[in-house]
Amino acid sequence: MNTERLNTWLSFTANIGVILGLIFLAVELNQNSDLMRVQISQSRADAAMVANEHVFNSDYLPRILVKARAGEELSAEDTVRYRDWFRAANRNQDNVLHQYIAGMLGGNSPRSVRDFVANVVASPERARVEWEIQKTSYTDEYVALVEEVLGATQIE
C-alpha cells in the first residue's frame, strides 16, 4: 500500500513539474518574442538612420534627388545612382510591409509605407517611370499597395 501511495504521489509531483515546465516555457517564448520585436524595431531604426546618413553625407545624392524632384535631366552616372537609391528605398519599404503582414510590426506600418509611396514614388514623374522599370523585382503585396497609391495619386 505504501509503495502504491508513493507511486501516486511521485506521478502527481512529476505531472505538476511537467505543467510548471510548460508554463515556464510559454513565458520564456513570450519574452523571446517581445525581445525579437524590440530587436526588429531597433534594426529598422538603425537602417533608417544609415539610409538618411547616406543621403546627407553624400556628395552627390542630395543634388541628384533635388534634380529628380525638379524634373531636371540626370546624367548617365546620376541615373545609375538614382536607380540604385530608388531600388534600395523601395526594397526597404517592401520589407517593412512583409514584416507587417507576418505580424512583426505595428498597425502604423502600412500607413508609413503608403506615405513613402505618396511622397517618393508618386512624384516626380521620374520616380513613376523608375517604378515601372523596377516593379517586377518586388513582392506582389508591395506592388499592389504601390499601384493602389499611385492610382489614387494625381501628378501635379
Question: What is the pLDDT at residue 1?
Answer: 61
Q: Write the DSSP string, 90-153.
A: HHHHHHHHHHHHTT-S-TTHHHHHHHHIIIIISSSHHHHHHHHHHGGGS-HHHHHHHHHHHHH-
Task: Answer whether residue 156 shows pLDDT above 60.
Answer: no
pLDDT tens sequence across 70-129: 999 999 999 999 999 999 999 999 999 998 998 888 888 999 999 999 999 998 889 999
| Among candidate residues 50, 48, 56, the one with its CA nearest the CA of residue 116 | 48
Give the model confidence (pLDDT) of 22-50 as tens digits: 998 888 888 888 788 778 778 877 877 88
What is the mean pLDDT of the segment spanning 10-33? 89
pLDDT value at position 43?
83
When pLDDT is averaged across residues 134-155 and rounded to a whole number, the result is: 91
Q: What is the pLDDT of residue 154?
A: 64
